[in-house]
Amino acid sequence: MKIGFIGAGNMARAIIEGLVEADFTAPKEILVHSARESSYVPYAEANGFTALGSNAQVVSEADVVFLAVKPIILGKVLAEIKESVKKNKPMLISIVSGVSISEIELELDNSSVGILRTMPNVNATVSASMTALVGNDVLTDEQMKQGIDLFDTIGETMEVAEQDFSTFVALAGSSPAFIYLFIDTLARAGVKYGLPKDKATKIAAQAVLGSAKKVLATDEVPWKLIDEVSSPGGTTIAGLLAMEEAGFMNSIIKAVDATVAKDKN
């Protein structure tokens, strides 16, 4: 199966590298085109991917095409590929934040091509993405399964109603940055008390990884797990109360609010 990418930014590269790492497809079956030749051509050549000369060529040669460009230029891209989409009819997978399926259909002047709207995250590079999916009315069951299989290769998937995508963006698309910030801040606190930064970072990252695994492995709500760690009069409850005094929970909710609002604009 030939998988085309229109756009070769960080998110596209995370998916590409996750697919290759998982042996989902051969590198030469990855077809790439982007606006800057100086960026995507060396990237393709260095990794054995196939660099193509235009967005329309990607559509004409691929079985599945990722739309992986910024929202501001999506209209221009869709105008370029409109005729190729009508002729070749690949499944289109959009990872463009804030753009609905109906908007893509309208720009293509085509409601007969299968479109899968998705929202993965950058953890695809380590096969740990969390991806939301929703298809348009003409997307076949086979195409949906194909999309799910593809994204299951680089992490976990969940079918989500399109009206909930902005919330998903905050909880899974943007949140890796929030979590990286938490890990880095926790590590810097370790440095404050004498640990080398690299060791402090490893300790913090492993603690986050283990905690996430425990949440996923149990039916207990996270608050119950907090209670299990918090001994009466102990160090953990002292730390938790200090975090709340500093507005920890409120800062997270505000981050989600801001992300949802931005995605909807």
pLDDT tops 90 at residue 264 = no
Average pLDDT score over the chain: 95
The pLDDT value given to residue 70: 94
The pLDDT value given to residue 39: 86
Same domain as 183, residue 110: no
pLDDT in tens, 41-78: 999 999 999 999 999 999 999 999 999 999 999 999 99
The pLDDT value given to residue 265: 79
pLDDT band at 114 (very low <50, low <70, confident <90, very high): very high
Mean pLDDT of 207-221: 96
The pLDDT value given to residue 9: 92
Its domain, for residue 52, covers: 3-165
Please state, as a whole number, how many other Cβ atoms lie within 10 Å of the Cβ of residue 122: 18
Is 24 a member of any domain? Answer: yes
Query: Which of 165, 183, 198 finishes a domain?
Result: 165
Q: How far, in Å, are 1, 127, 153, 163 from residue 156 at the CA level?
A: 21, 9, 8, 20
C-alpha–C-alpha distance, residues 53 and 100, integer Å: 27
Q: Bridge-partner residues for 92, per DSSP? A: 65, 115
Mean pLDDT of 106-110: 90
* Ranges 14-18, 31-35, 100-104, 202-206: which has the least confidence: 14-18
The pLDDT value given to residue 85: 95
Contacts of residue 22, defined as CB under 8 A and 6 or more positions apart, other chains included, come to 127, 153, 154
Instruction: Name the burial class of residue 115, with classes exposed (0-12), middle (13-18) and buried (19+) by CB atoms within 10 angstroms of its CB.
Output: buried
pLDDT tops 90 at residue 181 = yes
C-alpha–C-alpha distance, residues 48 and 16, integer Å: 12
Mean pLDDT of 77-104: 95
Same domain as 140, residue 19: yes
Is 60 a member of any domain? Answer: yes
Mean pLDDT of 23-46: 93
The pLDDT value given to residue 111: 81
Same domain as 149, residue 38: yes
Is 170 a member of any domain? Answer: no
CB hemisphere CA count around 7 (13 angstroms): 23
CATH number of the domain enclosing 218? 1.10.3730.10
pLDDT band at 22 (very low <50, low <70, confident <90, very high): confident
The pLDDT value given to residue 242: 97
pLDDT in tens, 159-168: 999 999 999 9
C-alpha–C-alpha distance, residues 124 and 110, integer Å: 30
Number of domains in the chain: 2
CB hemisphere CA count around 182 (13 angstroms): 17
Q: Of the candidates 113, 164, 120, which has an alpha carbon nearest to the alpha carbon of residue 137?
A: 113
C-alpha–C-alpha distance, residues 48 and 43, integer Å: 9
The pLDDT value given to residue 28: 96
Instruction: Estimate to the nearest angstrom the gap between the alpha carbon of 30 and the chain centroid.
Output: 18
Q: How far, in Å, are 174, 188, 190, 205, 214 from residue 181 at the CA level?
A: 12, 10, 14, 11, 21
CATH number of the domain enclosing 153? 3.40.50.720
